[in-house]
């Protein structure tokens, strides 16, 4: 799935959306350090009151929020796994029997309990729903919208949420005119910050792919590998951060640790060009592509054999492919940090070409080309020529 397809599904989770139908909401409560389900509850989504529906809809949107390969990961199911979660989810997706569906979700929860003991009470919520993608949004003779049933998508979504202790508060009673200590013992379920979840199946070009699951990690670049492998029975996730580290190590292995800022700026420009030209958001770079990028960046002594060897040294796979969008810093934001003893500077990759490190009289200077006057604490700084003031 690309970011547009994920965004399209997120947009469906809003109140009174006739293109979305959530048939059932099933929640399971697990107490900390437990290996058993404490409570389970199922109810039709439409039976919830309006405010409660909105709480859950926002929660589901947050599960599908974040950047691909940072917070969201499209994972491939492992093959030949006994009692695999792929089979369990697929059967639960196809069944019209609510009890069979709930039993499938309970089996997933039991996998979670077998793989990990949580240090807090958690609530796992499952929904089974369907959303429609209209081909033509044209009114019919009875003034109702017609939607192509071939573009209907059935899915299962799970949201994992932690609980927190209620706040200790002091209230004022207007009737009795006195202060009261508010004693609440019920834990609060934090639906604003889900700590995980998944969507099954994934959708590409509006076609369901039951061989993949979209997993939502607890934190950016920190997927729960135990959950991925033992609960979802999927292949490990490669984060954007790990991809970027591999790219940097490949470059260092092939050409060494030294680069000019102009070469580094051109490398980022070349990779960013590949990203922008890729409408599907899935462009990759193999060792031949990396060789091309380095040659266009005026890096000397580069050849395909060197880069292929570097890929093999770093990844043990000379045919490894890097995702282009993962290896270049956020291009139009100040995502590059330059740390020196005197100052820390943030700059965007597209502006890196304005930065130079120069030597003068045996000393190193960081030089930044500016088009306007520099003002510090309200004072306009006098230009100098490599250490000498200009009249």
pLDDT tens digit sequence for 94-114: 999 999 999 999 999 999 999
Residues 212-221 pLDDT 10s: 999 999 999 9
50-71 mean pLDDT:
94
How many helices (H) and strands (E) in the chain? Answer: 10, 22
Helices (H), the chain: 3-12, 50-63, 85-94, 98-115, 225-226, 240-255, 261-277, 287-296, 304-315, 324-327
Classify 278 as helix, strand or coil.
Answer: coil
Residue 148 has pLDDT above 50, yes or no: no
- Global pTM value: 0.85
Q: Report pLDDT for 332.
A: 87
Q: What percent of the chain has pLDDT over 90?
A: 59
Tokens of 287: 């060792």
> Residue 145 — very low, low, confident or very high, per pLDDT cuts 50/70/90?
low
Domain spans of the chain? 3-236, 241-327, 336-389
Q: How far is the CA of 126 from the CAs of 71, 200, 246, in angstroms?
A: 20, 11, 36
The confidence score (pLDDT) of residue 220 equals 94
Q: Are 211 and 76 in contact (CB under 8 A)?
A: yes
- pLDDT per position as a tens digit, 235-293: 999 999 999 999 999 999 998 888 888 889 999 999 999 999 887 778 899 999 999 99
What pLDDT score does 297 carry?
A: 87
Contact 213, 77 (CB under 8 A): yes
Give dist(CA 343, CA 339) in Å, integer: 6
Do the Cβ atoms of 89 and 232 come closer than 8 Å?
no
Tokens 């009114």, located at residue: 139
Candidate from 128-142, 233-247, 295-309 with smallest mean pLDDT? 128-142
Neighbour count for residue 233 (Cβ, 10 Å): 22
* Measured distance CA(233)–CA(80) in Å, rounded: 10
Report whether 261 contacts 357 (CB < 8 A): yes
Can you tell me the distance from the alpha carbon of 335 to that of 262, in angstroms, rounded to the nearest whole number?
17
**Per-residue pLDDT tens for 25-57?**
999 999 987 888 999 999 999 999 999 999 999
Q: Which two tokens stand for residue 295?
A: 């040659």
Is 150 a residue whose pLDDT tops 60?
no
| Nearest residue to 71 via CA among 187, 192, 219 | 219
210 alpha-carbon distance from chain centroid: 20
pLDDT at 136: 56
Q: What is the pLDDT of residues 74-95, one digit of tens each?
A: 999 999 999 999 999 999 999 9
First to last CA, the chain: 60
Asked if residue 161 lies in contact with residue 62, where contact means CB atoms within 8 angstroms, the answer is no
Cα–Cα distance between 303 and 154 in angstroms, integer? Answer: 49
Helix, strand, coil percentages for the chain (3-state, nearest 5): 35, 30, 40
Q: Give the percent of the chain with pLDDT over 70.
A: 93
pLDDT in tens, 157-192: 999 999 877 777 777 788 888 877 766 656 788 889
Report long-range pairs for 231-236 (Cβ below 8 Å, ≥24 apart): 231/85, 231/108, 231/111, 231/112, 231/115, 232/75, 232/77, 232/85, 232/198, 233/77, 233/78, 233/81, 233/84, 233/85, 233/86, 234/75, 234/76, 234/77, 234/78, 234/85, 235/75, 235/76, 235/77, 235/78
The mean pLDDT of the chain is 88
């Amino acid at each position: 799935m690309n970011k547009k397809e994920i965004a399209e599904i997120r947009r469906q989770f809003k109140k009174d959306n006739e293109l979305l139908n959530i048939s059932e909401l099933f929640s399971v409560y697990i107490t900390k350090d437990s290996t058993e389900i404490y409570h389970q509850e199922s109810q039709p989504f439409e039976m919830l009151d309006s405010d409660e529906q909105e709480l859950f809809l926002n929660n589901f949107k947050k599960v599908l929020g974040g950047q691909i390969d940072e917070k969201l990961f499209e994972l491939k199911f492992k093959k030949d796994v006994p009692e695999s979660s792929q089979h369990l989810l697929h059967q639960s997706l196809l069944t019209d029997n609510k009890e069979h569906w709930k039993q499938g979700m309970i089996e997933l929860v039991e996998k979670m309990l077998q793989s990990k003991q949580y240090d807090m009470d958690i609530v796992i919520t499952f929904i089974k729903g369907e959303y429609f993608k209209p081909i033509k949004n044209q009114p019919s003779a009875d003034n109702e919208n017609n939607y192509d049933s071939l573009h209907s998508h059935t899915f299962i979504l799970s949201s994992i949420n932690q609980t927190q202790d209620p706040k200790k508060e002091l209230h004022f009673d207007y009737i009795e005119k006195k202060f009261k200590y508010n004693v609440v013992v019920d834990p609060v379920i934090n639906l604003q910050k889900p700590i995980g979840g998944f969507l099954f199946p994934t959708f590409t070009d509006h076609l369901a792919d039951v061989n993949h699951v979209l997993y939502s990690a607890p934190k950016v670049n920190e997927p729960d590998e135990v959950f991925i492998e033992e609960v979802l029975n999927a292949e490990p996730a490669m984060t954007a951060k790990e991809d970027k580290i591999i790219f940097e190590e490949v470059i260092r292995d092939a050409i060494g640790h030294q680069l000019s800022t102009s070469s580094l700026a051109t490398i980022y420009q070349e990779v960013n060009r590949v990203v922008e030209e890729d409408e599907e958001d899935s462009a990759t770079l193999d060792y031949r592509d990396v060789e091309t990028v380095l040659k266009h960046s005026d890096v000397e002594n580069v050849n395909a054999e060197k880069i292929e060897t570097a890929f093999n040294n770093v990844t043990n796979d000379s045919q490894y492919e890097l995702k282009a969008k993962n290896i270049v810093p956020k291009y139009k934001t100040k995502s590059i940090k330059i740390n020196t003893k005197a100052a820390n500077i943030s700059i965007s990759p597209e502006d890196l070409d304005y930065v130079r490190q120069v030597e003068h009289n045996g000393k190193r200077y960081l030089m930044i080309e500016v088009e306007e006057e520099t003002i510090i604490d309200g004072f306009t700084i006098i230009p100098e020529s490599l250490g000498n003031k200009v009249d």
